[in-house]
Amino acid sequence: MTNVAVTDAKKILVVEDDAAIRNLIQRFLSSKQTYQVKSVGDGKSAIASFKEFDPDLVILDINLPDSNGYQLCRDMQAATNVCVLMLTSSTDQASKLKVLAEGADDYMTKPFDLEELAVRVEVVLRRMRERTSLQEKSLIFGTLAIDPPRREVKLNGENVRLTALEFNLLHFLASHPGRVWTRIELIREVWGHEFVGDPRVVDVHIGQIRSHIEADTSQPTLIHTVRGVGYKFEAPDTIAQDE
């Protein structure tokens, strides 16, 4: 017989205003020996539970009665770099890409299969362990500073607010200046081998990062598009000739 100690179990916070869905998810995931699960039905309770429970993963509904799910996602990730799996009722591609652009590690469209949810939860948590195991030095490029241990980015001495995925993507590109990466390669290196989704999500995140660190997003000087291939990061003192 194998038992997982409570201290070793990954903690999952479920934030869902539909009581039936919320209870179903909690009962199903709680049946897994490797998880501690807590659930709440609104944004106010989510914030309180997040601070008290300190979860490894938040399963977060976008549409809450008193809160904006996107903002909750950003605030939670800014606090602890927690992984977030968002639940959405939207089926159109633009809405799905927006979910990822706002920082979610993954999403599921309602209604969903509980077994698929369990697989996605496992994949996201595995990806989290890979990220947090990295201990790397700060990267300085002119007025841009990337500090991995603190998960901070500063431009001209001012903090730049990025989602967890945006930080991971920027840090990865900046760790390999001059190297051109395809979308598929970036998904494999940053999102993980198990990612299932549209490779164009990379474009969305690149656009978000550029909006924070580029003086002119129409003529980027740091993250360059290499037509027909993908993206690369160039240090400010080098000249890109690919665009």
pLDDT confidence of residue 43: 93
60, containing H or E segment: strand 57-61
Q: What is the pLDDT of residue 1?
A: 39
Q: Does position 236 have pLDDT exceeding 90, yes or no?
A: no
CA quadruple 238, 239, 240, 243: dihedral sign = positive
Q: How confident is the model at residue 237 (pLDDT cuts 50, 70, 90)?
A: low
CATH topology of domain 7-132: Rossmann fold (3.40.50)
Tens-digit pLDDT profile for residues 168-217: 999 999 988 999 999 999 998 888 766 667 788 899 999 999 999 999 99
Q: What is the pLDDT of residue 196?
A: 67
Provide the pLDDT confidence category of residue 232 given band limits of 50, 70 and 90. Answer: very high
**pLDDT tens-digit readout, 24-61:** 999 999 997 789 999 999 999 999 999 888 899 999 99
Segments making up each domain of the chain, as ranges: 7-132, 139-233
pLDDT band at 7 (very low <50, low <70, confident <90, very high): low
Confidence of residue 134 (pLDDT cuts 50, 70, 90): very low
Find all residues with CB under 8 Å of 73, minimum gap 6, and list them: 58, 60, 84, 86, 102, 103, 104, 163
Q: Rounded distance, CA 96 to CA 107, Å? A: 8
C-alpha to C-alpha distance for 236 and 243, rounded to whole angstroms: 16
Name the residue among 178, 168, 138 with its Cα closest to residue 154: 138
pLDDT, average across residues 17-30? 95
Q: How confident is the model over 62-119, as pLDDT tens digits?
A: 989 998 889 899 888 877 788 999 998 887 888 778 888 888 889 999 999 999 999 9
CA-to-CA distance for 82 and 163, rounded, in angstroms?
A: 10
* Domain covering 139-233 in this structure, CATH number: 1.10.10.10
CB-based contact 206:169 (threshold 8 Å): yes
Integer Rg of the chain from CA: 19
Laid out side by side, the sheet with 181-182 consists of 181-182, 230-233, 223-226
Residue type, 79: A
DSSP 3-state of 164: helix
What is the predicted pLDDT for the residue at 114? 95
